[in-house]
Amino acid sequence: MRKRDRFLTGILLILIGVSIGTLVALYTINDDLAPLSEVRYTEVKKSESPFFEDEELADIDPRFVFKTIASTVTPSVVYIETIIPVSEDEGRSSNFWNRVIPRRARTVGSGVLITKDGYILTNNHVIEDAVEKGIKVVLNDKREFPAKIVGLDPSTDLAVIKIDGNDHSAITVGNSESVDVGEWVLAIGNPFRLRSTVTAGIVSALSRDVQIIDDNFRIESFIQTDAAINKGNSGGALVNTSGQLVGINTAIASQSGSYQGYGFAVPVNLAMKVATDLIEFGEVRRALLGVSIASVDYNRAVDIGLDEVKGVEIIVITEDGAADVAGLELGDVILKVNGVEVNESNQLQEKIAIVRPGEKVQLTIWREGEEFIQSVELKMLEQQQINDLVGIPDIPEEEEAEPEVFELEVDFHEFDLGFRVIEVPTQNGSTNHMIISKVYKYSEAWNRGLKKNQKIISVNEIEVEDLESLKELIDENLNKNKAVTIEVLDEDNARGYIELKDN
């Protein structure tokens, strides 16, 4: 046997010996010298207590209070079902059963309990067309109540209804003046019939005028939020991180009809003024300053010597109105109302609207380079003034006048940019008036700020004489430049220039 083979055989014998020795040791080991460990199931520790209490989390980030806010506020937000009549078209109206049993539809919305005895604040458009006994309210605990209408205010799209009971979960009302852009808010309502839905977002902007209320005396100074608001949220609550009501959800800006990042709410200070009037008087008693106004833009600020673009200018003063009596003048710029800055016309309207007639407001006025404070006692908007503005004839109650019928040929045209113009003949037979009778939401005209009832004066500095010339001028400029500039005059004789583009 070779030396190498003998070496390998020796190693193999050694390994075999070691293995046999190990096996013998395992079988003959003394338990007392090497005891085996006893295996047990591990005990799992459970606890219902959070690592951080809600109060501690709230100190870290306001979002951690959302759970508490939702549980506190949700019982105050109600689900509203409204039965409304459905108008029949000509083909259906001849059907016998449609005449015997009128067609009806059911709409849904939201509301907020503002008192324990059942007064509910909601939107006018949620319940305005309700048939008799056609409003049902469902609370968060699923109890159902019939509701009656207390009052409506189309100018702010608000309404108050009432249900029975004396121990309802009323919401805590906050102060919309303290709301800031960027702060967290929650929207609570019933979108798409989904009861008690809570969404969160921030305040995106304040004092938004988005042209959604169809009323001659409309007041739009909305809180804009990116908290998801959809159909059915109307009338629901917008609350801050203290669980206080700061707005009534009213509308969404969307081409699809669903949430696209923009929602709007009526500030609670205005909403509660309206609600209080409706509950106390059955109508809104609107304070009147007696002026027509326009926001100050950059060019106007330069012209009148303001050091920055701010304030609202008085362009018309009503004789013997509140402003006239207080000594205000044309060209005065209102900078503040009761110490709060106003830089847009709708901001001033809102600040006056939350004050009752007969009360005084402190206006900070800028006039010819000087700033001063003027106290003004507001008057009340009378029915006669409403009639004058909307063209309703004043007929004495004791007389029943036969309606006078006018035969007037009015031509109109729908423009692809999203607006309709009617041609109104003048009494003296001179150049006819071109009046914008409708602006379609989310169209180019709507987005650029064209408004209903504005009068078209010129197109690209060429005066408009009739509807045909208006169509020709617009078509010519759109074909040539893909854009057109329209000069308009509003109901207060304020002049403006609006550029429309053919995208």
Known catalytic residues are 125, 157, 234
Backbone angles phi, psi at 471, to 5 degrees: -60, -45
| Helix H or strand E segment including 281 | helix 268-281
Backbone angles phi, psi at 96, to 5 degrees: -60, -45
Classified as helix, coil or strand, 122 is strand
Which tokens sit at 289?
Answer: 């300053």
Buried-exposed string 458-468: b where 16+ CB fall within 10 A, e elsewhere: bbbeeebeebe
Q: How far is CA 197 from CA 77, 192, 301, 358, in A?
A: 10, 10, 46, 41
Strands 244-252 and 172-173: parallel
Contact 107, 84 (CB under 8 A): yes
The Cβ of residue 175 has, within 10 Å, a number of other Cβ atoms equal to 14
**Among 298, 329, 294, which Cα is nearest to 313's?**
294
Which tokens sit at 194?
Answer: 């989904």
Q: Say which residue the tokens 């060019």 belong to.
A: 299
Which residues have CB under 8 Å from 122's CB, separation 6+?
80, 109, 110, 111, 112, 158, 159, 160, 161, 234, 235, 248
**Among 228, 355, 231, which Cα is nearest to 289's?**
355
Cite the DSSP H helix spans in 238-363: 268-281, 298-304, 322-325, 345-353
Q: How far is CA 161 from CA 31, 94, 256, 282, in A?
A: 86, 36, 30, 11
In whole angstroms, what is the distance from residue 200 CA to residue 241 CA?
10
Instruction: Name the β-bridge partners of 189.
Output: 197
Strands 237-239 and 244-252: antiparallel
Contact 421, 473 (CB under 8 A): no
Q: How far is CA 351 from CA 8, 206, 248, 324, 413, in A?
A: 106, 13, 17, 19, 38
